[in-house]
Amino acid sequence: MSNKFFTAATFCAFLFGGLTSSAQEKDPVLLTVEGQNITLSEFEAVYRKNNRDTQVNPEDVREYLDLYINFRLKVREAEELGLDTLKKFKEELKGYQKQLAKPYLTDKNVSEALVKEAYDRMKLDVSASHILLKVGPDALPKDTLAVYNRILDLRNRALKGDFEALAKQYSEDPSAADNGGNLGWFSAMRMVYPFETAAFNTPVGEISQPVRTRFGYHILKVNGKREASGELRVAHIMVKTGKEASEEEVGKAKEKAIEVKGLLVSGKSTFEELATKYSEDKGSASKGGELPQFGTGRMVAAFEKAAFALKNAGDVSDPVQTEYGWHIIKLLERIPVPTFDAAKDDLTAKVSKDSRSQLTRTVVIDRVKKEAGFREFPAAVDELAKFLDAKLLDGKWNADTARYLGKPVLTIGSQTLTQYDLAKFVGRQQTRRKPEDLRVLLNGYYTQFVEESVLNYEEAQLEKKYPEYKALLREYRDGILLFDLTDQKVWSKAVKDTSGLQSFHAQNPGKYAWEKRLDAELYHVQKDSILQPLLKELKKNFKSGIDREDVVKRYNANSKLNLRSEAGRYQAEDEELLKNVPWEKGVHGPYKKGDNQVIVVVKDVLAPAPKTLKECRGLVTADYQQHLEQEWIKELRSKYSFKANEDLLKRIK
């Protein structure tokens, strides 16, 4: 049988796939296994899934059906043994289920729109300043409103006055005291999503409406927009100074940087050589000064400005000062914004990890809430809040203090979740927190509880709503069962069953045997001048015996490359040149092999002989596994009933 149908490797990928539930009304039953019906369309879907690149051949289809019957019998046996009830199995399947459900718990259209939006924004760089007033995402409404009113007042004042001065005085971003709120140039994916959106949507010179992020409320002033600069690959040579360096230290560092630049200009050394020798950035010095690829907003402003000012690959800057020291920068490559097709995969991965990906979950959550008649009961949450205490701040609050609270906090579909359900959720999620309002903490946990509950509800409905998901989950379920049982019955058993392996080896002596072999030594001669002296010595001492290691040591006295030797027992196919050697005792050669001449010393010609188990254990183990599987299948076919209507296979075209 061709191994294209079933191997251990393809098995691990769950070769046979899962049963679909899309059988049409007139879809005939092809196969019945222990009372379970498999329709023609179900089998055909599995067959085509695993034979996509082959023409349909009636003989192959019948052979595949035979293998499929074996597959279903093994799964039935796993179920009979209760493997599907084991904790290990349930946990493994649950892990796969979570992964398989992910695409169904996000909105594909929103995801695609976010990727396209991110790409469009990649084409621009934005320069903006901001003022931040902090407020947590789960703050009480009265606290949130107070901060909102303050930021609104600051916006009104900024429209009439000096934005930079207001930022220095009022912004709660620690860097604002030094930079007046100016964040410099940045592009897409560099700021949290709401902030990024405000920056790209606000016209140059104008001040945005208040923007809420997880940090608090911001107002932004957009200072400029320009075509994106792309990304750069550069190398640098750095002379460190540090933030606390004195003017004298800064001056000496500058002199050293100028001197290094002079050596470069003289042409006596390459940039890479000078970086390796003089750069005090040890991380890049060993790489000739090369830094990771970067774009706008990822380096300190002075370094970025000087690097982007370089026009052509190979251009080198004069010494540039930053807060870290003096840098000489060499442009290695300027990388323009890629096409959408080239950037799509990378952007999709970044968007999925970015805060904006929450939008795709939010759309699904809102849809499910609407479909399932979601209701919540704030008064019940308020009642639970009275049972919280300071232990929650240490992550040690006992949820059982609320075990008698049974009022609903939310309902979704036919499911009701109570105050105690929420309390247990808080108990599982709690961590050590800085002192803050316990009701604010509960707000945050409740928001997570709602999202998780809604998504769990939707996940539980997936098998009913999406036949392809149900089929895929069944595929993984059966695959895990089959893997575990086959490991018990075949793979691990063959490895661990020493007596069975020995018996199987003994029962097949002719299958595991050596062919005719040479007990020989091979001398690979690199230096022509030693060839004849060595050949003469080997022939002279053949009968008395040759000390191979001593021979090699003497002929390699002035170079370890003159001579190399090996010894062993060889079959003809083990070494190509042995096919030209007389299979008789003696010294033969030399024979040309690559750049070497090879002398072959045949010490003995060995007759065919059985291999010991140690000599062929891997091959015997593989054959024993195949034997165990065949015996197992015979047992299953006699234990369980099955019936196939093979005439229906003619319909598969």
pLDDT in tens, 386-425: 999 999 999 999 999 999 999 999 999 999 999 999 999 9
Q: Indicate whether 16 pLDDT > 90.
A: no
pLDDT band at 434; cut points 50, 70, 90: confident
| CA–CA gap between residue 586 and residue 519 (Å, rounded) | 11
Q: Indicate whether 15 pLDDT > 60.
A: no
Q: Comparing 231-335 with 514-608, is the CATH topology the same?
A: yes
How many beta carbons lie within 10 A of that of residue 239, not counting itself? 25
DSSP-derived 3-state class of residue 186: strand
Question: 1-80+467-512+611-653: which CATH architecture?
Answer: Orthogonal Bundle (1.10)
| pLDDT at residue number 388 | 93
| pLDDT at residue number 7 | 36
| Range 196-218 burial, b when 16+ CB lie within 10 A, else e | bbbbbebeeeebbebbbbebbbb
- What are the pLDDT digits (tens) for 518-563? 999 999 998 888 999 999 999 999 988 889 999 999 998 888 788 9
**Cβ-contact 211, 194 below 8 angstroms:** yes
| pLDDT at residue number 52 | 74
How many beta carbons lie within 10 A of that of residue 380, not counting itself? 17
> Does an H or E element contain 61, and which?
helix 58-80
Q: Which residues, other chains included, contact 352 with Cβ-Cβ below 8 Å and sequence gap of 6+?
A: 111
pLDDT band at 315; cut points 50, 70, 90: very high
Tell me the mean pLDDT in the region 484-491: 90
* Structure token pair of residue 261: 């630049």
> Does an H or E element contain 459, and which?
helix 438-465
The correct answer on CATH 1.10.287 for the domain covering 514-608 is no
Tell me the mean pLDDT in the region 122-144: 91
- What are the pLDDT digits (tens) for 577-603? 888 899 899 999 899 887 789 999 999
Q: Indicate whether 506 pLDDT > 70.
A: yes
Q: Which of 601, 562, 561 has the alpha carbon at shortest distance from 585?
A: 601
- What are the pLDDT digits (tens) for 64-108? 899 999 999 999 999 999 999 999 999 999 999 999 998 898 888
In angstroms, how far is the first alpha carbon of the chain from the final one? 22
Q: Indicate whether 611 pLDDT > 70.
A: yes
DSSP 8-state secondary structure symbol assigned to residue 400: G
| pLDDT at residue number 140 | 81
Tell me the mean pLDDT in the region 150-179: 94
pLDDT band at 460; cut points 50, 70, 90: very high
Q: Indicate whether 212 pLDDT > 50.
A: yes
| CA–CA gap between residue 37 and residue 33 (Å, rounded) | 7
| pLDDT at residue number 3 | 37
The correct answer on CATH 3.10.50.40 for the domain covering 231-335 is yes
pTM of the model: 0.64
Least confident of 52-61, 88-97, 351-360, 363-372: 52-61
Map out the domains of the chain as residue ranges.
1-80+467-512+611-653, 124-227, 231-335, 373-465, 514-608
Tell me the mean pLDDT in the region 177-199: 92
| pLDDT at residue number 23 | 38
The per-residue pLDDT of the chain, averaged, comes to 89
Q: What is the CATH number of domain 124-227?
A: 3.10.50.40
Beta strands 124-134 and 216-227, pairing class: antiparallel
Beta strands 325-335 and 320-322, pairing class: antiparallel
| pLDDT at residue number 108 | 87
| pLDDT at residue number 194 | 94
| pLDDT at residue number 396 | 93
